[in-house]
Chain A
Amino acid sequence: MAEGGYFREVAHRVFAAEFNESTLQARDGEDQYAPQYLLTPTGAKCNRVFVMGTLTEKEDVGTDAQFWRGRIVDPTGAFTVYAGQYQPEAAAVLAKTVPPEFIAVVGKPSTYETKEGHIVTSIRPEYIQVVDADTRDRWVVDAAKLTFARLDKLRGAEPDAVKAREFYSTNEAQYRDMVVQALESLRAQ
């Protein structure tokens, strides 16, 4: 599957607060098979994300088959992940993990519009793994570094940055502050 036109998407590191603010879906081209992206306020064009946090709650919300919902908390907020029969490995991990536990998620962003017109973001996991505290801290630093890098480019001319800036009118200081607080939370330990 790796031959020819196949191109693996980078897994973006995005904090929960930023991820949950993301509402702009985009597709490269008209083709129904063109990859779908979620553009975040700092200009991460995500077809795949890599996030970590503490699994604080989980619930089987499925009616017939198992369908697990998990809440994963990072220093800035909480991600929601949904894993059902099409994500058997991830669903199995959610099923057997007892919160609280540090977990890592590789997955695809997905959005859903409520009746009131709110856009709710979640992650459809490719993998969920239980990790240790050191790995989770390393991710916070990783996500901080990459979010800063995006913020540094936000005023530039790259198409993703321009689009994010125009659509969200991103408050740069607010996001810098979010990152600083996430880093400070590590230092306080």
Chain B
Amino acid sequence: MKEIATQIEARFAEMGVKVEIKDIETRLNRLINEFKVPAEEARRNVINYFLKEYDIPRTEFYTPRETHLVKASDINEDGRWITLRAKVVQLWESNHESISQVGLLGDESGTIKFTKWAKAELPDVVEGNCYLFKNITTSEYQGQFSVKFNKTSEILPIDEDIDVGSIPVEFRGAIVDIQNGSGLIKRCPECNRALVKGACGEHGKVDGVYDLRVKAVMDNGEKVQDILLNREMTETFIGLTLDEAKDMATEALDQAVVCDLIKNKLIGRYFIASGAKVDRFILVESIKKDEEPVVEEINMLLAHTAPVSQEA
């Protein structure tokens, strides 16, 4: 209910009308809790009441506003109404009946998760096609952003191909963890998933195909960033080919030796990594040891506090 009230308040605020949120809540509360009116109906009633009160024509209130066209990577605020020009990169399996489609959208700047509510009654999108998504909302959950399609959203197919996520992001920091599933792993030949104890989550016990990868956590003291190195990146960065890794594992009778080697080379050191950001990972396209000279930074830091240090 609180949510509905804030939404109503925000919508009126956009039209330049200040409505007390307490008034909205009182009215909603009376309808919903006392008179058992369904939430949607109550919202309608309250909106209509204030429209009349402030003499705003209904059409003006309900006409969809032109929302701003933004880039996927610029989405950094919860509860914004936006327009997105993007390609459907991936469709995932919906795990709830209230969600008709869920997946990943991408534009030149990067990718973002989307959710299309069943209630929105919008046409289905097709993987690989590009659309203009009008009047969708942004949302945030634990630092991850996504967009949601609702009843007022519009999906317009566009006849061009969008190159997804070519602007790489850079992260500078120390590697503080190498996660399970790094090093020499086996993948399912059917679906390419990494096997856990020789079994695929989808296809059960299968004869896996060897692969090499690194799942690491970088940290700059203020933010954490997961990074992912595929086989090629891992081979050049660690200086170990897949075949050499296999030999190592065979000799030690243990796949974990490869992961240990990676840990010993990376943990506790500073790196600069860049690549496309997909979900919470940076898919690393380039990574190098951070060897920028520190002298300048030392001087800058000392200059910053010079007066204080003299006092002290």
Contact = CB atoms under 8 A, between A and B. Distances in A.
Interface of A: 1-2, 5, 7-13, 48, 50, 52, 89, 103-106, 126-127, 129, 131, 134-135, 137-139, 141-142, 144-146, 148, 172-174, 176-177, 179-180, 183-184, 186-187
B94 interface: no
Given A176-B305, A184-B302, A104 B219 contact: no
A106 B298 contact: no
Contacts of A12: 221
Contact of B268 (A2, A10, A135, A137): A135
Contacts of B290: 138
Nearest to B281: A2
Contacts of A9: 224
B304 interface: yes
A174 B312 contact: yes
Contact of A106 (B143, B177, B179, B223): B177
Given A11-B219, A50-B174, A173 B269 contact: no
Contacts of B179: 2
A105 to B, nearest CB: 8
Interface of B: 142-143, 174, 176-177, 179-180, 217, 219, 221-224, 226, 263-264, 267-270, 280, 290-291, 294, 297-298, 301-302, 304-305, 308-309, 311-312
A35 B290 CA distance: 31
Contact of B298 (A89, A103, A174, A187): A187
B258 to A, nearest CB: 15
Given A173-B312, A176-B308, A141 B294 contact: yes
Given A10-B224, A135-B270, 18 more contacts: A9-B224, A13-B221, A50-B174, A89-B263, A105-B268, A106-B177, A131-B268, A137-B294, A138-B270, A141-B294, A142-B174, A145-B297, A146-B222, A173-B311, A177-B312, A180-B309, A183-B302, A186-B294
B294 A11 contact: no
A119 to B, nearest CB: 24
B219 A183 contact: no
Given A129-B268, A138-B294, A145 B176 contact: no
* Chain B contact residues, majority secondary structure: mixed
A160 to B, nearest CB: 13
Given A7-B142, A106-B177, A142-B221, A135 B269 contact: yes
Given A50-B174, A104-B268, A10 B222 contact: yes
Contact of B301 (A13, A48, A129, A183): A183
Contact of A126 (B177, B180, B264): B177
A174 to B, nearest CB: 7
Contact of A11 (B176, B298, B301): B176
A148 B177 contact: no
Contacts of A183: 298, 301-302
A141 B305 CA distance: 14
Contact of A10 (B223, B291, B305): B223
A142 to B, nearest CB: 7
